[in-house]
Structure 1
Amino acid sequence: MLSFAAVGVLAYAADLALFTVLRGPGGLETLTAKTLSFAAGCTVAYLGNALGTYRDARPRGARPVLVFLAVNVAGALVQLLCLAVSHYGLGLTSQRADTVSAAGVGMALATLLRFWGTRTLVFNNENRVGSWTG
């Protein structure tokens, strides 16, 4: 789990750094910049997990990559849902409340979903050379 977390931190850093550059000096529109940075973060996460965390698994073809992307999009939706519930449903509209709901609660829940999905659906036991604890 620590390896998964380390890869996640690197992917998050890549996403954030690229978004900042594309949105700031790059001058791209917000959603375009976020889409590109999300894709870069997913790429870093996939490669980090494939070459590090789950290096004993041998997924082949496009399916694992597509499932990995779907799991990460689902995680992003969890974060957005937490933000929407807090901001619009509960009326907690301060910057602090938005940060806690999206980057705190949402990120924690999304990370659990991503860990489960990545381990179970992408780099699953059938593809693993070692034991389940790998």
Structure 2
Amino acid sequence: MTVVGWVRARVGELTRFGIVGVAGIVVNLGVFNLLRLGPLAPDATVAGDDDRVVTAKVIATAASILFAWVAHREWTYRGRGRHRPARELVLFGLVNGAALIIEAGTVALSHHGWGLTSLLADNVASLVGIALGTIARYVGYSLFVFEAPAPAVLGDDAGAADPRTSPR
């Protein structure tokens, strides 16, 4: 199957995944900036007096993970087989844990490794991390969390009798 064929076969699912993803980005960046400009700001004294940009990123990503689990479970992958909710949430959490490491690692590298500490730089690094994490999430969800639907066999008439064995 070509890449174009693969995308065409999954256009609805990819569209729903993208919509949930955009909404998740709004949740992620909204919580990140509320924390970064509020209780976890560089000059705030909540939880110590160190710069807590990575802590803000981890909390924001966790909030968007919970939002995405509900949205993907109830909308994006609605027609797919499911694990029991507890097991599904654990698998979802593991996939998102890997994505969170990618996202937080991107912000940490930019902020602490490269010294790019402005709010704009933190947001750009956050968006790059979100993009990389999104790729990891789609692959992880498709492979481990939400089981693929059984493929439909074209031209299969399940109720029709086999003409080779039917009495005439």
Point out where structure 2 has 5 or more consecutive residues left out of the alignment. 1-13, 39-45, 48-54, 153-168
Residue 8 of structure 1 aligns with which residue? 21
Point out where structure 1 has 5 or more consecutive residues left out of the alignment. none
One-letter identity of the residue aligned with 1:59: R
Q: How does 1:1-134 map to 2 (within 5 A)?
A: 1-14=14-27, 20=34, 35=59, 40-61=63-84, 62-103=86-127, 105-125=128-148, 128-130=149-151
Q: TM-score, normalised by structure 1?
A: 0.70
- Please state whether the residue corresponding to 1:71 is helix, strand or coil: helix
Superposed CA deviations along residues 59-81 of structure 1, whole A, max 9, x for unmatched, are 12122211101212221221111
Which of structures 1 and 2 has the bigger CA Rg? Answer: 2
Taking the aligned partners of 2:31 and 2:106, their CA distance within structure 1 comes to 24
Superposed CA deviations along residues 70-121 of structure 1, whole A, max 9, x for unmatched, are 2122212211111111222222223222221122x11110111111111111
Q: Decide which structure has greater helix share.
A: 1
How many equivalent residue pairs? Answer: 121
- Please state whether the residue corresponding to 2:94 is helix, strand or coil: helix
Do the aligned partners of 1:56 and 1:130 also contact (CA within 8 Å) in 2?
Answer: no
Taking the aligned partners of 1:18 and 1:95, their CA distance within structure 2 comes to 14
Q: Percent identity?
A: 32
Q: Give the superposed CA RMSD.
A: 3.0
Taking the aligned partners of 1:130 and 1:55, their CA distance within structure 2 comes to 16
Do the aligned partners of 1:58 and 1:123 also contact (CA within 8 Å) in 2?
Answer: yes
Which structure is richer in relative contact order (CA contacts within 8 A, separation 6 or more)? Answer: 1
Runs of 4+ aligned structure 1 residues displaced above 4 Å come to 14-21, 29-32, 37-40
